[in-house]
Structures are given as structure tokens and as C-alpha cells.
């Protein structure tokens, strides 16, 4: 098999949750630009409309639906409609997630008392777990329902390097939610293997996205992160495309249950 064919996603049918912006949009673009049929599931109707129009205007096959990943009946219906476009679902990116806000520690060494465990808003905890962990469960469940009858499929979950570390400047609920999602990937790799459905995770580090109010677009935030990342900079969502294509294509046909870091070396420590 040629390398071109090995990495090909041409004609594959894919779903991306949280696909209207940021890393999710990077997944959408990477797949659509290489011939896949892509459905964006997101809560932001205006962004869906704008991105679908832009990508279709470039000649790509992209669709969009306004769906909350915590709404199970709506998710099932959306997956059924997407699969019907080509007769089967080949790839799912369980990407949608939220930032719970500031952590208990500030960059200047101070504290955020309202984010300490005894003062934490229970609603923030509940919503973060509901979207970042239960939302992944809901997404993978519907993907598996579509893929198992065809004995074929690739599921990619967006976790985070937060699944492997702790830190005071990230809202506390985010850490166990992402760790849980990573462990769910490992568990479900065993469940789905006999059906030839693969599931893997992508663990991003510092990417410039709109999550958390878009603070990573600020020069001072990027400068702070740059000091922590061996490659000396934050990443752009476009830099997700190569890994996304690898995990979606036959190039990764013998990989399942893996969590791949894409963090500029951040988990390895600071470079001198």
C-alpha cells in the first residue's frame, strides 16, 4: 500500500463534536481538506453556520447541527442522520469540552479563594464533569452503535496533558474529568477491539484556542506558556491535523487504547 493511500481519509464519513472552533475546527478542516465528509456537532449555531458556509465554499463536504453532547436523544438522532449520509460512520472525534475557570493558584503566587475546594461552586463541578467526561461517554456510545455493525471505525477523544498531571492554575474539576476520559479510552479499547473499532486519545498541551474565554490569544499568556514549553511557543490548532489524519486513517490500524501527547515536550520538563 502506498503511503498516500495509507494516510488517506478520502470518502470517509466523520463527526466532530465541538467542531465549530479551536482544536475541533482543526480536526474538521484536516479531514474535509483531504476528502472526508464531515459533520460538525456544536452548541454555537452562528459559528456552525459560518464555518460550514466557508468550508463548503472551498468545495468541501461539511454539514453542521446544533447539538448539546449532554442531550442523549439529540445525540443519537444526530449520529443517525450523519451516518445515513454515506451509509456508515467511519470516524468520530469526541472533542467538545469546557474550561471550568481559574484554579486555586494565581501565576503571581497568590490564591483564588473562590476556587479552593471548600468554596467551589458545585454547579461548576457538575457541569465540567457532565461535559468533559459524561459527554465523551455519550459521544463514544453513539459512535460505537454506528460502527460495530460494520466492524470498522476509529474514535478519537480529546483529553489533555491535564490527564497526567496536576496544577493549581487550572480549575480543579478539569483535571479528574480529563483523567477519567483518558481512562475511559483505555477501558473501551478492550470493549470495542473485537468489533475492529479503535479508540485513542489526543492529549494537547498549550494551544491557542477560545477555551477559557480566549485568554490564550493574549501575548502575555503566550509568553508565560512559552517559558514552560521546550519548543518555546504555544501551538496553533492547525498543528493537530497531522495527528488527526494519522489516527483517523489506516496508518494507525494497529493502535488502540493509546493517548498521544501533542504538547511541545511540556510534560518532559523545561528545556535549558
Q: Can you give the CATH number for the domain in which 50 is found?
A: 3.40.50.720
Is 22 inside a domain boundary?
yes
41: nearest Cα among 77, 87, 9, 86? 77
Is 270 inside a domain boundary?
no
Total tally of structural domains belonging to the chain:
1
Is residue 137 part of the annotated active site? The answer reads no
Length of the chain as a residue count: 272
* Confidence at residue 96, expressed as pLDDT on a 0 to 100 scale: 96
The CA distance from 194 to 197, in Å, is 8
Strand order in the sheet with 153-158: 61-66, 37-42, 13-17, 91-94, 153-158, 197-204, 259-262
* Confidence at residue 210, expressed as pLDDT on a 0 to 100 scale: 61
Is 133 inside a domain boundary?
yes
Q: pLDDT of the chain along its 272 residues, tens only? A: 788 899 999 999 999 999 999 999 999 999 999 999 999 999 999 999 999 999 999 999 999 999 999 999 999 999 999 999 999 999 999 999 998 988 898 877 889 899 999 999 999 999 999 999 999 999 999 999 999 999 999 999 999 998 998 888 788 999 999 999 999 999 999 999 999 999 999 999 877 776 655 566 677 667 777 777 787 887 788 888 999 999 999 999 999 999 999 887 787 777 66
Could you say which of 27, 79, 93, 174 is catalytic?
174
* Confidence at residue 31, expressed as pLDDT on a 0 to 100 scale: 98
Is 271 inside a domain boundary?
no
CB within 8 Å of 26: residues ≥ 6 apart: 237, 238, 239, 240, 241, 244
Q: Is 116 left (phi over 0), alpha (psi -120 to 50) or beta?
A: beta
- Grid cell, residue 148, equals 460495530
List the domain range (segments joined by +) for residue 183: 3-263
10 Å CB burial of residue 137 (0-12, 13-18, 19+) is middle
Is 186 inside a domain boundary?
yes
Is 268 inside a domain boundary?
no
pTM: 0.93
* Confidence at residue 272, expressed as pLDDT on a 0 to 100 scale: 62
Give the distance from CA 36 to its chain's centroid.
18
Is 138 inside a domain boundary?
yes
Tell me which DSSP letter residue 201 carries: E
Amino acid at each position: 500500500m502506498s503511503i498516500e493511500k495509507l494516510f488517506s481519509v478520502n470518502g470517509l464519513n466523520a463527526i466532530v463534536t465541538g467542531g465549530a472552533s479551536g482544536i475541533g475546527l482543526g480536526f474538521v478542516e484536516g479531514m474535509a481538506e483531504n476528502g472526508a465528509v464531515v459533520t460538525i456537532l456544536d452548541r454555537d449555531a452562528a459559528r456552525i453556520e459560518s464555518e460550514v458556509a466557508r468550508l463548503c465554499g472551498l468545495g468541501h463536504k461539511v454539514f453542521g447541527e446544533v447539538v448539546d453532547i449532554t442531550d442523549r436523544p439529540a445525540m443519537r438522532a444526530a449520529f443517525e442522520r450523519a451516518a445515513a449520509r454515506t451509509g456508515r460512520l467511519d470516524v468520530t472525534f469526541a472533542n467538545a469540552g469546557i474550561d471550568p475557570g481559574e484554579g486555586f493558584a494565581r501565576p503571581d503566587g497568590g490564591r483564588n479563594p473562590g476556587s479552593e475546594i471548600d468554596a467551589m461552586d458545585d454547579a461548576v463541578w457538575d457541569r465540567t464533569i457532565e461535559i468533559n467526561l459524561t459527554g465523551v461517554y455519550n459521544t463514544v456510545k453513539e459512535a460505537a452503535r454506528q460502527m460495530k455493525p460494520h466492524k470498522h471505525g476509529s474514535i478519537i477523544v480529546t483529553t489533555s496533558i491535564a490527564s497526567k498531571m496536576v496544577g493549581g492554575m487550572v480549575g480543579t474539576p478539569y483535571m479528574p474529568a480529563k483523567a477519567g476520559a483518558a481512562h475511559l479510552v483505555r477501558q473501551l479499547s478492550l470493549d470495542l477491539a473485537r468489533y475492529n473499532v479503535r479508540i485513542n486519545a489526543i492529549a494537547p498541551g498549550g494551544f491557542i484556542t477560545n477555551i477559557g474565554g480566549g485568554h490564550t490569544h493574549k501575548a502575555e499568556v503566550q509568553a508565560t506558556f512559552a517559558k514552560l514549553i521546550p519548543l518555546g511557543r504555544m501551538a496553533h490548532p492547525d498543528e493537530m491535523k497531522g495527528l488527526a489524519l494519522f489516527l483517523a486513517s489506516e496508518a494507525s490500524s494497529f493502535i488502540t487504547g493509546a493517548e498521544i501527547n501533542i504538547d511541545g515536550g511540556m510534560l518532559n520538563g523545561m528545556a535549558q
